[in-house]
Structure formats: structure tokens, C-alpha cells
Amino acid sequence: MSVAIITGSAGLIGSEASRFFAHQGMQVVGVDNDMRRRFFGAEASTSHQRALLQDELGSRYSHVEADIRDGDAIDALFRRYGEHVALVVHTAAQPSHDWAAREPKTDFGVNAQGTLNVLEATRQFAPNAAFIFTSTNKVYGDTPNRLPLVELEKRWEIDPAHTYAGGIREDMSIDHTLHSVFGASKVAADVMVQEYGRYFGLRTAVFRGGCLTGPNHSGTQLHGFLAYLMKCAATGNPYTVFGYKGKQVRDNIHSADLIAAFAAFFKAPKSGAVYNIGGARHSNCSMLEAIALCEQITGREMNWTYAEDNRAGDHMWWISDVGKFAADYPAWQLKHDVNDILTEIYEANADRWLETVSA
């Protein structure tokens, strides 16, 4: 049986990938040590998602509680399955700007060294496997903030005459910019994944995501924009909007749409591929627009405030151009928009959130 090793398997993208590839008939080996709890506290723990995976998938899912920074443990795992490994989906990461600045060594260890460990284990023990890496649009730093933006009533928007009016392409430079500590560690990992494709010939893909979201997201204040926003809307907890008048724009891709892209790459992999991936023009919103949608879906007014200072390296406007991936894999398409995503997050989590509040 073909094996898929999925790191961060109890997280948003990892859990979606685990379910998808298990249902495709693969044996899924999930690697997750609930580091998210350490990063963001008990509310961000992925332990409940791990339990769901084990219950739903049964013998098709094997869990390994390993730290990707532990090279010996990762080598031992890959050695055990060897040539049976057909797919590696590497989603494990420290994902927050703010948290990275508190502990740069930990951030770099997880994001950069951890990625190198998984890459090298793949090269040594499963060189024919397809290797998929979830990078980030933060590799471009704050360069998007130098685009010609126009202020509208509820959002920033790019000058329609600009070459990136349809979305930002992979030809944007990643140099001479403020990345944030988090962005820098992801750049290191991103480039290494490319290099293992180009230099060693592994079949690797870098997916530079915008906001990745969906009903399995354990959102917190420091990471998980839409999920945490909807949680606050449902529970009445306070939410803070940081800077840019609340008009900053993000594209949002549902985890299922992202996994569909992974599946397309797995069927026809390339070496050293790089793709911007996100909701594109199909699925995007500003903070103000997202708050209005949350209020509409929950039927209650949000408890939110505004802080003038934006987060360092934060984008005013990001919409991905997914044309490169769509050209390589024309059968793939985006299916979920922001309203769909927020509604699904609310319906999947509202009861659990409200039980926590009333407890």
C-alpha cells in the first residue's frame, strides 16, 4: 500500500490532507506533537482533531508524536516506510509573525531546520515520493505594500491598470523587503524545497499560501484570521483589528480547495515547482467586509475594536494570482468563496465554542 507522510497532521491543512488521501486508499502516517498548544495556548490545541482522525480513519491512519526538529526521529520514521512512501505533505510549522519575534531560534528551528530534516529524510529513504510544502505569501515580505493601492469605502484595492490587478504572481521579488522573523524562516524553507527539486531532482512543490482556512482551523488571536474572527463573532469575545483602517484585504482559500491542488500535483509532479495559491479574485475580503459577514451569519453584533498600529510586515492588500498553477493543472478550480467558508466554520464549530463559553 502507498504511504502518505503528513506533518502537522492534526492542523488545518494536515487534517484535511489526512482525510483526503486516506479516502484515496493510501495509508496515512501523521506526524504531530501538538506544538500549536505551546505556541498559542490550550484554545489552539489540535488534540481534538487528532482524536477525530484516529476515530474516523481507524487503521488507515497511524499517528507519530514526533518533533520535526528531531532529525533522528524523522529519519527513523522514513526508514521504516522507505520506498512505500509515495507522498510527503509537509504542513508542520510555527505560523505566527508575533510569536516568531518572541523566540526566533525556535521559529527557525521548526520552520527551516524542521523542513530540511523532512526533505533530507525524503531524499535518503523515499526519493521517488512527491513532496508538497506549504510555504506562505510572507516570503514576499512587505513588498506588496509598495503597490499602487486605492482606498475604497471598505477596502484597499489595487490600481486596475497595474500588472497585478488580477492578483500577485510568482515573479514578485522576495528580496529587499521586511519579511518579519517568521517570513525569513519560511523563505529559508521555501528556497531549500526548491533546491532539493532542482539540485537533487526530487519532485517538490512550494505552495505560497495566503490565508488558508476552513472548519478544522483552531484559530487564535495570533494566527487563523477567519476562524478566530468567526469564533469571536459567535462567542462575543473581543476582537482587535490592527491598522490600515480595517481595510486590509486577504484572499482566503478553503482547505478542501488547497488539498485538491495538492492532489493534482501528486498525480503529475514536477521538480522545484513554485506556486502562489489562495482564494484569488474568487474568494477575498477586507477586515471590515469579513466582520460584516460574520455579523450577518451569526445574527449578532461583533465586539471589536481598532488599534492604529499594524503588525510588522503585514500586508495591506494580498490577492494571489493562481494562473500559473491553473495552467499546469487545468482541471483544478476554486469552489469556495468567503461567505461559504465563514458559514461552514460557524456551522462546524459554534456548538463547541458556545459550550466552552458557558462552562
The model's confidence at residue 68, banded by pLDDT at 50, 70 and 90, is very high
Tens digits of residue pLDDT in 153-203: 999 999 999 999 999 999 999 999 999 999 999 999 999 999 999 999 999
The model's confidence at residue 355, banded by pLDDT at 50, 70 and 90, is confident
Amino acid at 341: I
Distance CA 83, CA 219 (A): 36
Q: Where are the domains of the chain?
A: 3-358
Instruction: Identify the pLDDT of residue 358.
Output: 54
Distance CA 354, CA 158 (A): 39
Tens digits of residue pLDDT in 304-333: 999 998 877 689 999 999 999 999 999 999
- Select the more confidently predicted residue: 195 or 216: 195
**pLDDT value at 101 more than 90:** yes
| Helices 71-81 & 114-125 angle (0-180, nearest 10) | 30
Quick check: 98 and 311 in contact, CB under 8 A? yes
The model's confidence at residue 357, banded by pLDDT at 50, 70 and 90, is low
The model's confidence at residue 227, banded by pLDDT at 50, 70 and 90, is confident
Residue positions counted in the chain:
359
Instruction: Identify the pLDDT of residue 216.
Output: 76
What average pLDDT is seen over the chain?
94
Task: State the average pLDDT over residues 64-70.
Answer: 97
Which of 3.30.70.260, 3.40.50.620, 3.30.420.40, 3.40.50.720 would CATH assign to domain 3-358?
3.40.50.720
**pLDDT value at 247 more than 80:** yes
Q: Which of 157, 162, 126, 170 lies closest to 269 in space, CA to CA?
A: 126
C-alpha distances in Å from residue 26, one per residue of 2, 63, 84, 165, 183? 5, 14, 10, 40, 33
The model's confidence at residue 218, banded by pLDDT at 50, 70 and 90, is low
Distance CA 58, CA 77 (A): 20
